[in-house]
Chain A
Amino acid sequence: MSILNDSALAIAKKIQNGELSAVELLEAALEHINTVDGRPGTLDDGDPTDEDRTKVHAFITLTQERAYQQAKAIDARVKAGERLGPLSGVPITVKDIFCVKDTPSTAASRILANFIAPYTATPVERLESAGAITLGKVNLDEFTYGSSTESSAFQPSTRNPWDTSRVPGGSSGGSTASVAAGEALLSLGTDTAGSIRQPAAFCGVVGLKPTYGRVSRYGLIAFGSSLDCPGPVARDVGDAALMLSVMSGADRRDSTAARVTVPDYLESLDRGVEGMRIGLSPDYMQITFPDPETGEFRKQSLPVEIREATLRAAEVLAKQGVEIVEGVPMPNMVYGIPAYFVISRVEAASNLHRFDGVKYGYRTESDFEDLREMYRKTRAEGFGLQPKLRILMGMYVSAAQYSEQYYQRALQVRSMIRSDFDAAFDPEGTYRLDALLTPTTPTTAFKMGDVYGDSVLMQYADQLTVPANHAGIPGISIPAGLDGEGLPIGVQLLAQDFKEEILFRAGYAFELGTADAAWRQVQPEVLKAGKGTSS
C-alpha cells in the first residue's frame, strides 16, 4: 500500500468506504518515514553524519501515539457506518509553528523547546475534525525567519528530497519536503514573505498562500501579524483545494479572520479556463536590488530556465483558452523587500517580547541576580542568530525617533504595492486580469550552507513572493518543470482577494495540460529505487 501514488481526495474516499484502513495507511506512512527521513531535528549536536546527508529530516516531533489514536478512531467510526469528514485518514504534517495540544510546539527554537501547548491551533483543529491524521511537527527556520530551514535550532535541518545536498527552501521547508518525499499527503505551512511558495517551488510541490484572513491565525506562533497566512502544501492542486476548503472561514478567536463565504473549491476545480485573462509582467522577470558596493539599483534578469518555464506555462494555459496579457506593469513591487524588512521586523520584535522565561519555555540556567538579568540571559541564550537580528532591527526601526522615517513609510509602500494589483485586477481597468503569472523564485534550490541568509541577493530573493503578502492577495506556486540539474522550478499565480478558486482552476488546467510532460515522470532522489521506497 503506497501513499505515494494516490491523492488525498482519493485516499479519503477509500477510507470512508472501507477499502483502506486508516491504521494500515498510517503504518505505511511511518515505515516510509523511517526509511527516508532519518533522525529528527534536536537541540543536541546536529553535525550531520554521512548517513544524515542522505535523509530528509523533515520532522522535529513524530506524534506517533497520538496518530495511532486518531487512526483507530477513524477505522472504528467507519466500521460503525458513520459518515466521516473529507480528510478521513489522510496523513498530514504540521509546521512546528502551530500549537497542537499536548505536543511540543517549538517554533524550531530553543526558547520553546520544552513548551507543550495546552491548546490546538484552529487550522489544525479543523483538519483533524475532518479526519486528518497528524503524523507530527515538521521543521522550519527558527520562528520562520529564513528561506532555507537551515536556521532551525533543531538540527540536522531538513534537506531537499530532490537532492539532499540542497535546501528544501524555507521557512516551511519541513512541510514541503515531507510532502515531496511522500511522507505525508498534505502539510500545513505558513507564508509571510513566500515561506510556503518558495519551498514548494524548491521541492516540486503545490503551495498556496491564501488571502490574508482566509484562514484563522489562532494558534500560529506569530511572526508578522499583518503578513502571516497559514496555507496548504500538497502534491497537486486538487488536494490543496480540498485542504483549503476544510481550513478556511471565520473564527471567533481571530479578529482578522474574514467573514467571507468559503466557496466549494473542488466543485469549481475543473470548470476550465476558457476566457480567463492571465497577465505577465516584465517587473517579475527580474530581480531589482541595490548593488552591495555602490548602493545603486541594479536589475538582474532571472535565469533563462526559470523565465522560459514561466512562458511555457503561459503557452499551456493559452492552449486551454486563457487570454495571456503581456506587459502588465507592477512598478511598486521593487519596494516590497525594504517595506517587508521594516514591517516584519517591527511586528516580530514585538511578538517575541513574550518569550521572557516567566510563563513558559526556556529560562536561563545560569545565575541571575534579578529579573532584568533573567530576561537578558534567557533571551540571549534561548534565541538563535536570526531572531536576535530581527528583534534588534525591529527595535531600531520602531524606536520613537525613527518610526516615521521607516515604519510609517513602509505602511505607505504597502498601499502602493496593493494599488498595483488593484489596477491590474480592476474589471474596468486596462488589463482586467483574473490572475498574474510569474516565476516563484529567482533560483532553484541552492546548496546547504551556501548562503548565510544575509547577502543582498539572498535578501532580495523573496521579491517575487512578498508583494502578495503586503497586498494580502492569494498566491499559489505550482511545479512547472525541472532545470538543467534536475531541480524543480515553480511558477506562481496571483489573484484578487478571496479568489483562490481562480488559482485552483488555472493550476488544475495547467496540470491537465502537462499531465504527460516528461518532467512529471521524474521522482525526487530519495524516492528513487534503492533509496528506500515502499510499493
Chain B
Amino acid sequence: MTDEITPELFEHLVELAAFAFDPKEADYLRRELNNQLKAIHQLEAVPIDPEVPLASHGVTYTTQGKPALREDVWEPCDNPEDILAQAPQVEDGYFIVPDIPHTELE
C-alpha cells in the first residue's frame, strides 16, 4: 500500500516548513506522519451536514462581549532596545541576515 505522504510530498512539506533532514531522520518523520494520518482520516468519515457552519472559535462573542477596536493613538514601546538585544546578529541598529538566494538573469 502506498503511503499517503510519499517521499516527494514529504520533501515538499519540508520545503514549506523550511527544514532540512538527513535521510534517516526524513524517513522516520515521514513514517510517523503517515501513522498519524489515520487519526486525521477519521474526519473524512464524519457525516457532516453541509449547512453546519465553520467555527473559528467555539465560544460565541456577543456584540457587548466583543472587545472594541483600538483607538488610533500612538503608544510607543518603552524598551525597543531590549527587542533588538535579543537578535542573533545586529549592526548599526539593523537585524542582520544572510542574503536571499536569487540570481538575476537578463
Binding site for B on A (CB under 8 A): 115-116, 118, 211-213, 226, 250, 252, 254-260, 290, 292, 295, 335, 337-339, 341-342, 349, 356-363, 368-377, 379-380, 388-389, 391-393, 395-397, 399, 405-406, 408-418, 454, 456, 459-460, 469-473, 497
Pick the 7 closest A-B CB pairs, nearest first: A472-B58, A472-B59, A118-B82, A411-B54, A360-B86, A376-B20, A363-B88
Q: Does B2 contact A (CB under 8 A)?
A: no
**A391/B86 in contact, CB under 8 A:** no
Name A118's closest neighbour in chain B (CB-CB): B82
Given contacts A371-B100, A396-B5, A411-B56, 15 further A-B contacts (CB under 8 A): A213-B61, A254-B67, A258-B65, A295-B38, A338-B43, A341-B39, A363-B89, A373-B98, A389-B33, A392-B13, A408-B54, A412-B55, A456-B39, A459-B39, A470-B58
CB-based contact A471/B66 at 8 Å: no
Across-interface contacts of A360 in B (CB, < 8 A): 83, 86-88
Most buried by A among B16, B41, B89, B101: B16
CB nearest neighbor in B for A412: B52
Encoded as 1 (CB less than 8 Å from any A CB) or 0, chain B from 1 to 16 comes to 0000100011001101
Of B17, B38, B66, which is within 8 A of A258 by CB? B66
Contacts A371-B99, A380-B21 hold; do A393 and B33 have CB atoms under 8 A apart? yes
Q: Given A259-B66, A396-B13, A411-B55, do A335 and B42 touch, yes or no (CB 8 Å)?
A: yes
Cross-chain contact A260 with B65 (CB below 8 angstroms): yes
- Complexed CA–CA distance, A418 and B56 (Å): 12
Identify 11 residue pairs between A and B in the complex whose beta-carbon atoms are under 8 Å apart, listed by A's number: A255-B67, A259-B67, A338-B41, A360-B87, A371-B101, A392-B33, A395-B13, A410-B43, A412-B54, A416-B52, A472-B58
Partner of A290 from the list B16, B39, B67 (CB cut-off 8 Å) is B39
Give every chain A residue within 8 A of B48 (Cβ-Cβ): 409, 412-413, 416
Q: Interface digits, B57-80 against A, CB 8 Å rule (1 contact, 0 not)?
A: 111110011111010000000010
* A250: nearest chain-B partner, CB-CB: B67
Q: A335-B46, A337-B39, A454-B32 are in contact. Are A370 and B13 (CB under 8 A)?
A: no
Question: Which B positions have Cβ atoms within 8 angstroms of A?
Answer: 5, 9-10, 13-14, 16-21, 29, 32-33, 35-36, 38-44, 46, 48, 52-61, 64-68, 70, 79, 82-83, 85-89, 95, 97-101
Q: Once the chains are docked, how many angstroms separate the CA of A337 from the CA of B82?
A: 40
B60 to chain A: closest residue by CB: A497
Q: B100: which of A260, A372, A389 is its contact (CB, 8 Å)?
A: A372
The docked-state distance in angstroms from the alpha carbon of A369 to that of B20 is 14
What chain B residues lie within 8 Å of A418 (beta carbons)?
Answer: 55, 58
B38 touches which of A254, A290, A373, A469 (Cβ 8 Å): A290
Contact between B67 and A257, CB atoms less than 8 A apart: yes
Whether the Cβ atoms of A358 and B13 lie closer than 8 Å is no
A119 vs chain B, min Cβ distance (A): 8
Contact A292 B61 (CB under 8 A): no
Residues of A within 8 A of B20 (CB): 373, 376-377, 380
State in angstroms the CA–CA spacing of A213 and B17 once bound together. Answer: 30
Q: Which chain A residue lies CB-closest to B61?
A: A258
CB contacts (< 8 Å) of A469 on chain B: these are 58
Task: Let me know if B17 and A349 touch, CB within 8 A.
Answer: yes
Q: In the bound complex, what is the Cα–Cα distance between A226 and B54 (angstroms)?
A: 13
Residues of chain A contacted by B95 (CB below 8 angstroms): 358-359
CB distance from A522 to the nearest CB of B (A): 37
